[in-house]
Amino acid sequence: MRISLKSKRVDQLIERLHQAYAGNHLRLVKRIHTILYALEGRSATDIAAIMGLSEQCVRNYVTAFVLKGLASLTYQRPSGRPPRLTKTQQRKLEEWIDQGPEAAGYDVGGWTSGLIQDLILTRFGVEYCPQYIAELLKNLGYSWQKARFASEHLDDVSQEQRDWMTKQWPDILRKAKELKAWLLFGDECSFAQWGSLSYTWARRGCQPTVPTSGKRHAYKVWGFIEYFSGALFYQGQTGKLNSDGYQAFIRGVLKRTRRHVIILQDGARYHTSKAMQEFFAAHADRLTVHQLPRYSPEFNPIEFFWRKLKKHTTHLRYFPTFDKLVEKVDSKLRYFAELPSAIKAVLGRYCETMGAEVAAQKSKSFS
């Protein structure tokens, strides 16, 4: 197919294309692109394959443009209620979305509302506006998320996580109940004097700024949260995190109870060093230690507590001196230590109903 236009008419065609994009008129976008491909001399077969149209549809679009010019590039939505996807079509759409846009023939790695709008129109002949696409996807169980990397050499991690939740964790929980032991999720966190950035409401065009001393000095905190009671144990230090500090922290916790203590920890070097192995062996009558799944910080609920604590301490705050930072962190640690319900609320996958129970309790307290 070969047609030609003066440069002025081509400019008008491109301007109409921009208007179609701005107005989310997907059918008109396809129609104008068809004309532009014809101007390049592409065949009807090639254009049909690129645009997802039939060859006859391509010829009809080009013929109408030759006869009517820009007047042919109009599109009005049909009157009446717009068609909707059937349940069968929705299931097929979910299948395509789960497989990714490349499997559906798009040369991109991630879905956008515009792409899914095009997918629905091309495959089912149903046109949704992009604003409704988000609502449709939400109803189908999808959400707008940031992807994460998953290294190929860690393919066994997901199996390790499943084994933890279905086999190891139930056994640990049962043993803790039998022994009436403290069940502690442990980790440590660093709070920087230069603060931390976060999202906040601000006037449009006026990005909020936070003063900073720029001093690279941080306050470190060892922490345990107890599964059954929601108790918080913590110990701050200014020096480097190491096995000696970890041992001192655990000794302090052991002095506070005669019960057996079960610790769930990640694979940080100062948790698993030779010195720590010897320490755990020497206190085996009081201590049992289990390693959480590798590369799985989300399986340690204290990680969510650290996020909450940083939100209350360092986010968008200025600390002119290191002492001010320590004072703020310690005050919030004392605050949360007196709120076991707030600690239990971060248990997540380990107690799926706990968050709802805590929210219900708070709702009652405010009613």
Q: pLDDT tens digits, residue range 312-353?
A: 999 989 999 999 999 999 999 999 999 998 898 888 888 754
| Of 201 and 90, the one with more pLDDT | 90
Q: Which residues contact 210 (CB under 8 A, 6 or more apart)?
A: 195, 197, 316, 317, 318
pLDDT attached to residue 154: 57
| SS3 per residue for the chain | CCCCCCHHHHHHHHHHHHHHHHCCCHHHHHHHHHHHHHHCCCCHHHHHHHHCCCHHHHHHHHHHHHHHHHHHCCCCCCCCCCCCCCHHHHHHHHHHHHHCCCCCCCCCCCCCHHHHHHHHHHHHCCCCCHHHHHHHHHHCCCCCCCCCCCCHHHCCHHHHHHHHHHHHHHHHHHHHHHHCCEEEEEEEEEEECCCECCCCCCCCCCCCCCCCCCCCCEEEEEEEEECCCCCEEEEEECCCCCHHHHHHHHHHHHCCCCCCEEEEECCCHHHHCHHHHHHHHHCCCCEEEEECCCCCHHHCCHHHHHHHHHHHHCECCCCCCHHHHHHHHHHHHHHHHCCHHHHHCCCHHHCCCHHHHHHHHHHHHHC
| pLDDT, position 153 | 54
Tell me the C-alpha distance between 287 and 261, whole Å: 5
Contacts for 29 with CB less than 8 Å, ≥ 6 apart: 17, 20, 21
CA distances from 285 to 134, 233, 260 (A): 56, 21, 8
Domain locations in the chain? Answer: 7-72, 87-139, 171-202+211-366
Cα–Cα dist 227/176, whole Å: 10
pLDDT in tens, 254-311: 999 999 999 999 999 999 999 999 999 999 999 999 999 998 999 999 999 999 999 9
The tens digit of pLDDT for each residue in 101-111 reads: 888 887 778 88
Q: At 243, is the pLDDT very low, low, confident or very high (cuts 50, 70, 90)? A: very high
Please check whether residue 290 is in contact with residue 263, taking contact to mean a CB–CB distance below 8 angstroms.
yes
Kindly report the number of other CB atoms within 10 A of residue 219's CB atom: 23
Average of per-residue pLDDT across 217-227: 96
* CA triple 283-287-290, angle to 5 deg: 125
b/e code 45-65 from CB counts within 10 Å (16+ = b): eebbeebebeeebbbebbeeb
What integer pLDDT is reported at residue 358 of this predicted model? 41
Q: What is the pLDDT of residue 151?
A: 55
The answer to which of 185-199, 222-236, 249-263 has the lowest mean pLDDT is 185-199
Highest mean pLDDT among 149-153, 212-216, 218-222: 218-222
Which range among 113-122, 151-160, 282-291 shows the weakest confidence by mean pLDDT?
151-160
Q: What is the pLDDT of residue 356?
A: 42
Per residue in 41-67, pLDDT (tens digit) is: 888 888 888 877 778 878 888 888 888
Closest of 24, 20, 12, 19 to residue 65, by C-alpha: 12
- The confidence score (pLDDT) of residue 252 equals 97
**234, burial (CB in 10 Å: exposed 0-12, middle 13-18, buried 19+):** buried
In this model, does residue 172 exceed pLDDT 70?
yes
Confidence class for position 209, pLDDT limits 50, 70, 90: confident
| CATH 3.40.50.620 matches 171-202+211-366 | no
Report the pLDDT value the prediction gives residue 149, as an integer from 0 to 100. Answer: 58
Rg (CA), the chain: 30
For residue 230, the model assigns a pLDDT of 94
Of 57, 29, 30, 28, the residue nearest 45 (C-alpha)? 57
Lowest mean pLDDT among 94-98, 149-153, 294-298: 149-153
Indicate the pLDDT class of residue 366, thresholds 50, 70 and 90: very low
What proportion of the chain, given as a percentage, has pLDDT over 90? 44
